[in-house]
Amino acid sequence: MSLDWSNLGFAYQETNCHIRYTWKDGVWSQGELIKSPYINLHIAATALHYGQSAFEGLKAFRHEDGKIWVFRADMNADRLNSSARQIMMAELPKELFLDAVRRVILANKEFVPPYGTGASLYIRPLLFGSGAQIGVNPAKEYTFIVLVTPVGAYYKGGLTPMRAMVSTDYDRAAPHGTGHVKLGGNYAASLLPHHLANQAGFPMDLYLDPVEHKYIEEFGTSNFLAITKDGKYLTSKSKSILPSITNDGLCRLAAHLGIPVERRPIEFAEIENFAEVAACGTAVVITPVNEIVYGDKVYKVGPTEGAGPVLQKLYNNYTAIQWGEQKDPFGWLTPVED
């Protein structure tokens, strides 16, 4: 494989195949590795009309000894099922999910980037209603796909802080809606506010709670976390945010390192007490945020360049575990074996 591993971005790169399963009459198929990246779909599939579709995102890493390891896939299996229940899709037995991930990686081994390039294999499971249904009802047939694509290291140098804008005209989620599950539809709704924030010069949009616009929820595609001036790891608690696996991992890592962890509703006004702020998610792990603009007010947080010391430490430890450079005390890595 002659890919320029060190210069891969986060873009779809064609691989050998994806794996595909179909659910009909209560039974999942055995799964098939398919070369073509196209799918022949019924024009009345519920995913297309009614957004009955959910996805996941996780990564596999090649360690220095050449072995491939998947990071916390069991968590993604559980979360995809929680999305499935919310929008009445067939659930996936955990074993099927994990086996799908393993099989598709093995079939695309040469696309798992070499150790030392910072690049990894991004894994995208997708579950959607593929059965034809013109009335608004759950489909009677489902398709589960896992595709993989190599992605580059996000940071070429050190961590780079970004600016965020509080979204005042749009909400990401409704108070009792679907913000807590990973649905395609949530992302459709976020495209316009995200585009507008980008146009205004902000790569990130920060959402407040949809009831009072008083509490911090999360960034458009990543959770919110802050290191308080008294040294705590603070992250939002709300029924309408997506339970990030990265955030869960960072909380556990912080506790392991002796940093107190607090998960509770956070008022925006508390921003004065934050020493460091970041977004977290699978793609980037940690994105430091050094400026948050809310209406005509500008709030500066943390250092103007790089990350603050606590975020940097968490990032270093978390990624060292992923790359097998540091002991994995949590059992987060699973080897991918024939």
Ligand X SMILES: *Cc1c(COP(=O)(O)O)cnc(C)c1O
Nearest C-alpha neighbor of 81 from the set 73, 92, 71: 92
Applying CB under 6 A, which of residues 46, 221, 240, 322 lies at the interface with ligand X? 221
Rounded CA separation 250/232 (Å): 12
Residues in contact with ligand X, shown as a per-residue x/- string from 159 to 198 under the rule CB under 6 A: -----------------------x----------------
287 sits near ligand X (criterion: CB under 6 A): no
Interface segment toward ligand X; rule CB under 6 A; list 10-18, 119-127, 237-245, 320-328: 237-245
Between vectors from CA 66 to CA 64 and to CA 69, what angle results, nearest 5°?
Answer: 90
Applying CB under 6 A, which of residues 113, 150, 210, 281 lies at the interface with ligand X? 281
Interface segment toward ligand X; rule CB under 6 A; list 80-88, 120-128, 227-235, 238-246: 238-246
Q: Please report the beta strands in the chain, taking only residues with DSSP state E, as ranges in sequence order.
A: 18-24, 27-28, 32-34, 53-55, 58-62, 68-71, 120-129, 141-151, 162-166, 204-208, 216-219, 223-228, 233-236, 261-264, 274-281, 285-294, 297-300, 333-335
236 sits near ligand X (criterion: CB under 6 A): no
245 sits near ligand X (criterion: CB under 6 A): yes
- Three-state secondary structure call for residue 282: coil
Q: Which is nearer to ligand X, 23 or 144 (CB)?
A: 144
Applying CB under 6 A, which of residues 52, 133, 235, 244 lies at the interface with ligand X? 244
Interface segment toward ligand X; rule CB under 6 A; list 22-30, 139-147, 219-227, 287-295: 219-227
Nearest C-alpha neighbor of 166 from the set 236, 213, 226, 234: 213
Tell me how far, at minimum, the Cβ of 268 lies from ligand X, in Å. 18
Place of tokens 């050190």: 158
Tell me how far, at minimum, the Cβ of 249 lies from ligand X, in Å. 8
Rounded CA separation 294/207 (Å): 11
Interface segment toward ligand X; rule CB under 6 A; list 134-142, 206-214, 240-248, 315-323: 240-248
Say which DSSP state 109 is in.
Answer: G
Rounded CA separation 115/269 (Å): 43
80 sits near ligand X (criterion: CB under 6 A): no
Q: For residue 19, count CB atoms less than 10 angstroms from its CB and return exposed for 0-12, middle for 13-18, buried for 19 or more.
A: buried
Interface segment toward ligand X; rule CB under 6 A; list 96-104, 221-229, 288-296, 325-333: 221-229
246 sits near ligand X (criterion: CB under 6 A): yes
Task: Give the number of residues in contact with ligand X, rule: CB under 6 A.
Answer: 13
Applying CB under 6 A, which of residues 91, 171, 209, 218 lies at the interface with ligand X? 218
* Residues binding ligand X (CB under 6 A): 57, 182, 218, 221-223, 242, 244-247, 281-282
